[in-house]
Structure 1
Amino acid sequence: MTVEGPLGAQEEHFWRALMRVVVALPRSLDDDLLRSAGLTLTEYLVLMNLSEAEKQELRMTDIASATALSASRITRVVDALQSRGQVVKRRYEGDARGNVATLTPEGLKRLQAAYPIHLASARKRVMDHLDRRSLSAMARQFEAMGEHLD
């Protein structure tokens, strides 16, 4: 059911709280990872997506889509990871205009070292502040929102 018009007081309160989290959470997760693991949140997400992909490689356009970054921004991130030996970028054989990034053993090692740090940050920044009894319902609601947004 869609209700048009201004938000009610309870809806407005929720909306403002959600917007604060949407803005502040990525910064906090980024700060935690950078300080403790030497990776930005974006770099972590690139390495994570590569680690989960078939042959641990993805087209640059797919990485950009998975991380919600522009093509130029993802190119800079992948180039930085490549300069540190964590990924290798090469031309995509199926399309000379595209590139593929592949996770290296060093990149996997960095991701594995950062993983517990990221989970601890997620727990500290989010999970510890939620009512455990509501998690399943909230997960379903956020999944439904995500599907609607995709």
Structure 2
Amino acid sequence: MNGPRWLDEQEQSAWLAFLTTAALLNRRLDQQLERDSGLSHLQYEILVRLSAAPDHELRMSELAGALLDSKSKLTYQIDRLEQAGLVRRRSCPSDMRAVYAVLTEAGQRTLERAAPGHVAAVREMFLDPLTPEQLTAIAEGLGEVGSRLRGER
């Protein structure tokens, strides 16, 4: 009879370190962005993805997939960003079911104001404490986990 593969001490330590660090990092980045720009971390990521997209727009379903979030949660965030004038929606003339999120000029300006503080916070909280070797190990290890979760392996 095969039972569960319990975590050994090293695995448990790694798992708990990951959970704790991810929660603390997300909380602190949310606080920094809210304080400096009035954005949540998710809203900032939405603006970043739209800014990087061709014509600064993405189909809502594509944006939800890229953010690994539910369509309903994305819709709520887009509603809030739209009310703030940072994003607008547009429909697709060839597919009435398709809705696009489009970054506005005000959204681009907000992103440009928020980015320096956000990057400084990411450096201070995540990158600076690590050696180049540790960064490589994290990138490779989490890259493998991400590939498996996406079904690429």
TM-score normalised per structure 1: 0.90
CA RMSD of aligned residues (A): 1.5
- In structure 2, C-alpha distance between the alignment counterparts of 1:93 and 1:24, rounded to whole Å: 43
Q: Percent identity?
A: 35
The equivalent of 1:128 in structure 2 is 128
The equivalent of 1:46 in structure 2 is 46
The equivalent of 2:12 in structure 1 is 12
Which 10-residue stretch deviates more, 34-43 or 66-75? Answer: 66-75
- In structure 1, C-alpha distance between the alignment counterparts of 2:138 and 2:64, rounded to whole Å: 27
| Structure 1 stretches of at least 4 aligned residues deviating more than 3 Å after TM superposition | none
The equivalent of 1:22 in structure 2 is 22
Contact 2:127 2:135 in 1 (8 A): no
The equivalent of 1:79 in structure 2 is 79
Which 10-residue stretch deviates more, 21-30 or 101-110? Answer: 21-30
Q: 1:17 is aligned with what amino acid? A: A
TM-score normalised per structure 2: 0.88
The equivalent of 1:110 in structure 2 is 110
- In structure 2, C-alpha distance between the alignment counterparts of 1:105 and 1:44, rounded to whole Å: 15
Stretches of structure 2 that go unaligned for 5 or more consecutive residues are none
Contact 2:86 2:104 in 1 (8 A): yes
Contact 1:25 1:125 in 2 (8 A): yes
- In structure 1, C-alpha distance between the alignment counterparts of 2:64 and 2:94, rounded to whole Å: 18
Contact 1:59 1:92 in 2 (8 A): no
The equivalent of 1:62 in structure 2 is 62
Contact 2:30 2:41 in 1 (8 A): yes
The equivalent of 1:147 in structure 2 is 147
